[in-house]
């Protein structure tokens, strides 16, 4: 896995001068900071999940929080995904604000009844008379050599369900700001962290802030094409944009950050501006969220401004393989995005 991360971009989208006072931290540390600050602010916030206490979480995200907040609020659970989900939902229904961690997002498939049939629908089924303020955190994605059952990107599954909100941060600054917003949400938020990003450094503003859900980040402005990229692909798209810039091509890079609700306005405006759209995600293309983004653009006024068919780049239609080279080739690499961008730029308007 090669990821080049332009450090300076993390706080560009806000344009807020106060945020310039930042500190470098990793994506994992930014998540921990958000958890810690929310726990300090609100006694109703607590954490539960497998090995999040003494162990500090499989990816070390909750390290130190047990020592600071104690067993009551940093709860190690048995390996029981269904009750982790349901327990968080029940606690939320009755006044708490749980943040539950799934060790891998793949394991959320064991909790789908609670997430999809229960949590997502309770408020609606009860005539709008209940609130379910839960955050389900989980690592997704490939790149760690963990093969087919620990590497999936199933964000589209969750985005398909009314009642859920779905968030995928791609930078430390967004991981922090979006998680704070997610914990303040009165609804279930599926917060999907890319496991290959946990150790990535980035600038995070020192002051406390929230990054609103439902607002895309224009990570780089450009006029020749738009690359809309989810999660880690936003980082790869930025690196590709740097390379394209050396050729005089100005690529606009958009990270939707939230899939549900989706910031259609920002996406459509960019498509209209550049006329060429490349959508990139790690999930397989069939049923992938890129299809939804493409459809929204095609059904919008931006359609009349397109100079080429919308292009999608996604994971190969296979489970994630183990062997390192096979694993890399199973999802879009930088060079794949670079090549796709060139193909898109070569297309002539009809």
Partner 1 sequence: MSEQLSGLPLSRLLSMLRAMYRIRAFEEKVDELFMRGEMHGTTHLSIGQEGTAVGAISTLRNDDFITSTHRGHGHCIAKGADIALMMAELLGKETGYCRGRGGSMHIADVETGNLGANGIVAGGMPIATGVALSMKMQRSDRICLCIFGDGAANEGAFHESINLAAVWDLPVVFLCENNQYGMSMATRRAMRNETVAQRAAGYGIPGERVDGNNVLAVYAAVSVAVQRARDGQGPSLIESLTYRYKGHAKSDQNLYRTRDEIREWQKRDPIQYFVNLLIAGGKLDQAGAKQEEAAAYAAVEEAYQFALGSADPDPETLLEGVYA
**Would you name the residues annotated as active-site residues?**
81, 150
89 contributes a contact to partner 1 by CB under 8 A:
yes
Contact 77, 48 (CB under 8 A): yes
Establish if 115 lies at the interface with partner 1 (CB under 8 A).
Answer: no
Candidates 120-128, 172-180, 276-284, 306-314 — which segment interacts with partner 1 by CB under 8 A?
Answer: 120-128
Q: Which stretch binds partner 1 (CB under 8 A): 79-87, 150-158, 203-211, 216-224?
A: 79-87
Contact status: 103 vs partner 1 (CB under 8 A): no
Among 103, 114, 152, 258, interactor with partner 1 by CB under 8 A: 114
Report strand pairing: 201-205 vs 22-26.
antiparallel
**In a 3-state reduction of DSSP, which class is residue 39?**
helix
Question: Is residue 96 part of the contact set for partner 1 (CB under 8 A)?
Answer: yes
Quote the least distance from Cβ 62 to partner 1, whole Å: 18
Among 19, 26, 77, 200, binds partner 1 (CB under 8 A): 77
15 binds partner 1, rule: CB under 8 A: no
Q: Is 158 in the site for partner 1 (CB under 8 A)?
A: no
Minimal distance in Å, beta carbon 120 to partner 1?
9
Q: Is 303 in the site for partner 1 (CB under 8 A)?
A: no
Pairing state between β 201-205 and 164-167 = unpaired
Residue 162 as a binder of partner 1 (CB under 8 A): the answer is yes
| 185 DSSP assignment | -
Residue 189 in the binding site for partner 1 (CB under 8 A): no
229 forms part of the interface with partner 1 (CB under 8 A): no
Among 163, 172, 202, 321, binds partner 1 (CB under 8 A): 163
Cβ closer to partner 1: 85 or 230?
A: 85
Q: For residue 266, which phi and psi values (nearest 5 degrees)?
A: -65, -40
Asked whether 264 and 251 are in contact (CB, 8 A), the reply is no
Write 283-287 long-range contacts (CB < 8 A, 24+).
Answer: 283/152, 283/153, 283/154, 283/155, 283/156, 283/230, 283/314, 283/315, 284/314, 284/315, 284/316, 284/317, 284/318, 285/312, 285/314, 285/315, 285/317, 286/317, 287/156
- How far apart CA 75 and CA 290 sit, in angstroms, is 36
How many residues comprise the chain?
350
Q: Which residues of the shown chain bind partner 1 in the complex (CB under 8 A)?
A: 46, 72, 75, 77-78, 80, 82-83, 85-96, 98, 113-114, 117-118, 122-133, 162-163, 165, 186-187
């Amino acid at each position: 896995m090669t990821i080049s991360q332009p450090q300076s971009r993390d706080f560009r989208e806000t344009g807020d001068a106060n945020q310039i006072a930042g500190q470098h931290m990793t994506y994992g540390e930014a998540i921990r900071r958000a958890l810690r600050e929310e726990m300090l602010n609100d006694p109703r916030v607590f954490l539960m999940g497998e090995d999040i206490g003494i162990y500090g979480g499989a990816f070390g995200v909750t390290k130190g929080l047990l020592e600071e907040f104690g067993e009551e609020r940093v709860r190690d659970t048995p390996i029981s995904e269904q009750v982790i989900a349901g327990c968080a939902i029940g606690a939320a229904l009755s006044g708490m604000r749980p943040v539950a961690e799934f060790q891998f997002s793949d394991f959320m498939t064991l909790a789908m009844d609670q997430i999809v049939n229960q949590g997502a629908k309770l408020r609606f089924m009860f005539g709008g008379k209940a609130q379910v303020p839960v955050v389900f955190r989980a690592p997704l994605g490939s790149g760690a050599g963990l093969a087919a059952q620990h590497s999936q990107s199933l964000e589209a599954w969750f985005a398909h369900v009314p009642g859920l909100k779905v968030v995928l941060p791609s930078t430390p600054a967004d991981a922090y700001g979006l998680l704070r917003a997610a914990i303040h949400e009165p609804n279930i938020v599926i917060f999907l962290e890319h496991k290959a990003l946990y150790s990535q450094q980035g600038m995070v503003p020192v002051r406390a802030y929230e990054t609103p859900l439902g607002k895309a980040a224009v990570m780089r402005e450009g006029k020749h094409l738009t690359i809309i990229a989810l999660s880690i692909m936003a980082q790869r798209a930025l690196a590709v944009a740097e390379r394209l810039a050396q050729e005089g091509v100005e690529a606009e890079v958009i990270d939707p950050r939230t899939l549900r609700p989706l910031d259609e306005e920002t996406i459509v405006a960019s498509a209209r501006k550049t006329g060429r759209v490349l959508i990139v995600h790690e999930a397989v293309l069939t049923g992938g969220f890129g299809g939804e983004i493409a459809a929204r653009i095609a059904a919008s006024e931006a359609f009349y401004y397109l100079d080429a068919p919308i292009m999608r780049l996604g994971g190969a239609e296979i489970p994630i393989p183990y062997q390192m080279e096979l694993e890399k080739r199973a999802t879009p690499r930088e060079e794949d995005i670079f090549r796709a961008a060139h193909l898109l730029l070569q297309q002539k308007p009809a």
